[in-house]
Amino acid sequence: MPSVEIYINGTFYPKEDAKISVYDHGLLYGDGVFEGMRSYSGRIFRLNEHLVRLYESAKAIQLTIPMTQADLGEAAKATLAHNKLVDAYIRLVITRGAGSLGLDPAKTSNPQVIIIVDHIELYPKDKYENGLDIITAATIRNHPAALNPRIKSLNYLNNILARIEGKLAGCSEALMLNHRGEVAECTGDNIFTIRHGSLFTPPIDAGILEGITRNAVIELARSIGMNVIEAAMTRHDIYVADECFLTGSAAEVIPVVKLDGRPIGDGAVGKVTKQLSEAFHRFVRQASA
């Protein structure tokens, strides 16, 4: 398979030669924003929604992206075409640019616009068929008064620490609670439960990222007549649920069958989860960019 080429500020570079300054604040301090997207049959799923969220994240940290939203969208499509990929994962990365070894963002210049297009396999195929075992991490989701979780920044260290907890427990994912002890989301995915035929998920003010795939699944559930409830949840709500699954651009829809060693429902992938997963895959194949 030929090596992918990376878009950096309007130029394509072989993956091995794609470089930015070691003085870039994105590297030194995690000072930047990103988006992860999927393409299906050569079309980027909900591209405009991802771009809106990216530009809102940038605005929230006072980072000016040096191109228009429309031009960045066209650059993402061009990078996909340049690499001759149709079903792929697309990562948009905007860094603050190179500066000094101090924190002052005013001393940086030349923000970097990076687009990576490649294949991704977040979880093995058998996990989609048999479901994930997850644990509750001791590391909480970012406190919204410190770094608002709705900002998709390059600083993901608390998520990484929670993922390490999961890996040490033999799990591929970990559930993160918010500062109130409520369910927020997993380290890279939003979470849903099904109980008595209704679909439940934490609200935005629980300290979650408002996932694009999350919103698509909510729309699909409502389109088939399901009652969808966005409300505060605790671990108890997951322990007693009939089914559970996660959503994300990279993960798509993946079932969860056990939390903290406790089987969810009968410990197998539920029929509603399967139904929504199948509906999602049909939908993304039909949707335009």
Tokens for 243? 């089914």
Residue type, position 203, single letter? P
In the DSSP assignment, the letter for residue 267 is S
- CB of 73 closer than 8 Å to CB of 5: no
Q: How many residues does the chain have?
A: 289
Residue 270, both tokens: 């539920």
Which residues are tagged catalytic?
152
Instruction: Give the integer Cα–Cα distance in Å for 256 and 263.
Output: 9
What is d(CA 175, CA 79) in angstroms, rounded to the nearest whole number? 34
The SS3 assignment for 272 reads helix
* DSSP for 123-181, written as a single string: S-HHHHHH-EEEEE-SSPPPPTTTS-TTS-BS--HHHHHHHHHHHHTT-SEEEEE-TTS
Distance from C-alpha of 157 to C-alpha of 171, rounded to nearest angstrom = 18
Tokens describing residue 150 = 């709705």
**Lookup result for tokens 């959503």:** 247
Output Rg (C-alpha) for the chain, integer angstroms. 19
Distance CA 146, CA 152 (A): 14
Which residue, 179, 244, 247, is CA-closest to 219? 247
